[in-house]
Amino acid sequence: MNTTPNAVEMRDIVIRFPGVLANDHVNLTLKQGEIHALLGENGAGKSTLMNALSGLYKPTSGTIRVHGELVNFNSPRDAIAKGIGMVHQHFMLVPVQTVTENILLGLDKPRFRMNTKKYEAEILAIQEQCGLFVAPDALIWQLSVGEQQRVEILKMLYRGADVLILDEPTAVLAPREIEELMGTMQALTAQGKSIIFISHKLHEVEAVADRITILRKGKVTAEGLDMAGLDKRKLAQLMVGRDVVFEVEKDVREPGDVVLAVRDLHAINNKGVPALRGVSFEIRSGEILGIAGVAGNGQSELAECITGLRNSEGNIVVDGEELSNAQPIKAIRASVAHIPEDRTHVGSAPNLTITDNTIMKCYRQSPVGNGVTINQGNAQSFATELKDEYAILAPSVGTQARKLSGGNLQKVILAREITAQPRLMVAVQPTRGLDVGAIEAIQRLLLEQRDTGTAILLISEELEELFALSDRIAVMFHGQIMGTLKTAEADVDTIGLMMTGTRLEDIHSTVEAQP
């Protein structure tokens, strides 16, 4: 009989905030040496529950045991002292410091002088043990997103964590980095570590989790289920309480006139390195052009150039109007909508209300405003209509944007942009980090815009999403277009070859040359 206590036992956890019951008598058991997936829609209470386990929140009621011992955490320091470390979705790193300095930050030692070589050797030993390799002397800003995540995990391991909480760890990773993380997780559990894995990506949960617990509106709908026999559709139904359509229906339609024409576009990135090198393409009315590519190949800079957020060389023409190097206000007046990659800091003003965020494009216009003053009553009525139409879940339109879940914040942004009746929509990673229900809703909204005649530039790292929504797919590599295919004629292997730097014409030449 196995008498080893569970790594974590949370019993009848209740967490209340003013006007909100975030966790309603939640139970969760993490066994020693397992990967336990915690699933739920945005706002279901997953992160709140884990913030209690990691010492950030104190439960209103309930008990937490770690390795059989009843604990009462007053801070993350208390939690890490018991071997619990949380890697947050948004990294907590200092960009201008080294990997070693970030790992040591906040520790009691060293106090006055740091023997860099000694600590680098200790960090390298941990890396060798768990397979998380990153140069200890590298500056954080020089690292890829995947490498920065390794640093966050190393921080917890260096502090002695044997229970790791990974909050949406794959939301910002490229496919190759996701595979590496999955391998790391399995290697850590093989060494006896225990992992709670919060994710919205059901195929990842299927691939790596041993058991799952599912939350819906703060309550447990499935507790500690074994993954054997569960499929993606069943998991989605338990998450959202209804059947989820994974394949959206897209009508075949003939595109109209050219809305966006990009010609020989060049731009540099924030490090002064060329990000776009002669990019050219067109998008027509009622057409979605998908841009595929591994993160960091110029996709973000392309969106910023089109929406007036980055200077460039070349031509950007929307409905015959030149927009290259124009201010964002000119792009807005040319009916260009923007769903930015960073919905929190670029797509919204977090400390302002839903009302303030929804009127950002129309506050100069009647009936909301007159260019000098804003009619608050009309503004609230406008926001309330959008809240109802787009099913934005919030107590009121006076709720601050930062208090919304990712899916509801994305709906606020889409409501604002769509209401402006755009001719061109630039959507960058529109479903990143969202649950299956929110993804379905966002994708339907994009297709509805396509069907009304909007031209859409869809930038996504999710090939499944690009194939589902796009009429054509272009692939970017090192700031250049490797080729463009009609989606009906594209396949994953061809797209994959272009994503690694092979031009479409070279692929065709190779195929033709084969006997």
Strand order of the β-sheet with 472-477 is 336-339, 424-428, 455-459, 288-292, 472-477, 480-486
pLDDT of residue 500: 82
Instruction: Give how far the C-alpha of residue 201 lies from the chain's centroid of Cα atoms, to the nearest Å.
Output: 11
For residue range 257-291, what is the model confidence (pLDDT) as tens digits?
999 999 999 999 887 889 999 999 999 999 999 99
3-state secondary structure 44-65: CCHHHHHHHHCCCCCCCEEEEE
Which parts of the chain have pLDDT scores under 70? 1-3, 111-112, 171-172, 174-175, 241-248, 511-515
pLDDT of residue 234: 77
Show the domains of the chain with their CATH numbers. Answer: 8-240 (3.40.50.300), 258-513 (3.40.50.300)
CB 461 within 8 A of CB 294: yes
Task: List all residues 6 or more positions away from 48 whose beta carbon is below 8 Å from its beta carbon.
Answer: 15, 22, 23, 57
pLDDT of residue 112: 67
pLDDT of residue 1: 45
CA separation for the pair 44, 40 (Å, rounded)? 6
Q: pTM for this structure? A: 0.70
pLDDT of residue 314: 96
3-state secondary structure 235-248: HHHHHHCCCCCCCC
